[in-house]
Amino acid sequence: MEGEIIQSFFNKSDDEISHGITIVGNKNRRVVKKRLAGRGGFRIYFFAYIVDSKVYLSYVYPKTGPQGKASLSKQFETMLISETADAIIADQLFLMSVKDGKLHFK
């Protein structure tokens, strides 16, 4: 999954990054659900703030396997959106970068 995140979110244009299903929002500020690793791989939810060229990854989950989920409930999506927005406002976030081909968090 690490390679998929790097490939999908680093050194890409805003349009490439935000390609996916918009859950809520408009062209410049929206919550997007995106597939990683193709069908049966992973899903990732993120806030895309295109005006500021910022992406806030909110939630990643496998589609298959023991922890796999077919989809998220609307109630869970709403809670996820609210909690991520609160974390952005409170600046309680991890910064993710790539170093030597690996994800690093600080």
Q: What is the pLDDT of residues 35-67, one digit of tens each?
A: 887 777 778 788 777 767 788 888 888 777 777
Tally of domains within the chain: 1
Given this model, what pLDDT does residue 65 score? 76
pTM of the full predicted structure?
0.75
Q: Whole domain around residue 92: which residue ranges?
A: 2-105
Q: Which pairing describes strands 42-49 and 54-62: parallel, antiparallel, or unpaired? A: antiparallel
